[in-house]
A = this chain, B = another copy of it.
């Protein structure tokens, strides 16, 4: 007979979901009210405003899509692309490849700009792609590649798109809340994120924001958006500026409570402080890992503080280490993805997971497991190195 499920208390230091604060879990389980309840409509307005702060934008069309980040991505593509369009897609990891899929499924063609995994997107290559395809209507790229732990220069890429009269679509799934996402300063046009990374909320909904230019393009469409569920003209009727909200779909009410609470926590801490915290913990983790003799897979200037790519030492069994961390320490770290599978681990320090306790715990658990597996690590120095980095 099946019975109730009581999950263990894991420490989530993979590529997301990250640890969810008890404050957020508490909000999640408050009594459900109707998705057209006047009090829920007020809450929606607060969520929009808190998301604007997090995205650093005045964009009116800023809201959470009622589905995970992959659907937030799809919402940006299906609303801005019409069949026959040309879209320049910069790929430097797994998620650029997913963008290509989205473009092609919209009946458009994807001009791929390929960069080495572990390196940022090259502005020069993107510029060359525009030179070759001046009629490209969109430039799409990933700000913080979850598969490689690399940050690209979103401001420069959005500026390039504007200069060429194109719109930009930016993936900030892993960046929002962890490093600066400056939608208005960048001049980005369609930006999507996730809740389960640096916002430390449960997975399942996806913040998005669209610039005035993007809204104009949506309103000028000749061809209906291929997804009814993600059609922003319909979604706006529910999330829009009118007090009278038109029913579109049933919003995930409790998930919106949770997002509201996590955004409040971010507001309370302050964006700057949150970013500084992510950097501090990152530097301490790296100091500890390097003291242990491990090496980072991304060069320092391109690293994301919230997602740390560690090279797996030769001879070490990738899966065995992760299984031992999970089973013996209830600690989850991430496997490598795509081209980096088996070669790297991804250690997340995202949102609520980015704290001193997790840094020290992870170093201690990893040292213990690697030692047991016979790996050649320097023992007994990682914790002190991390603590010194905090000082």
Contacts and interface: CB of A to CB of B under 8 A. Distances in A.
A101 B252 contact: no
Interface string A282-323: 000000000000000000000000000000000000000000
A49 interface: yes
Interface of A: 2-10, 12, 14, 16-17, 19-20, 23, 25-35, 37-40, 43, 46, 49-50, 66-71, 73-74, 98, 101-102, 104-106, 194, 196, 202-205, 224-229, 247-255, 257, 260-261, 264, 267, 326, 332, 337
A17 B252 CA distance: 10
A39 B12 CA distance: 14
B250 A203 contact: yes
Contacts of A229: 67-68, 70-71, 73-74
B33 A252 contact: no
> Which secondary structure dominates where chain A touches chain B?
loop
B255 A255 contact: yes
Nearest to A107: B226
Contacts of A74: 227-229
26 contacts: A3-B264, A5-B261, A7-B31, A8-B33, A8-B39, A10-B37, A14-B34, A17-B250, A20-B31, A25-B31, A26-B29, A28-B28, A28-B254, A32-B196, A32-B203, A37-B326, A66-B67, A74-B227, A74-B229, A104-B224, A105-B225, A202-B254, A202-B255, A203-B252, A204-B253, A226-B226
Given A2-B267, A49-B2, A7 B30 contact: yes
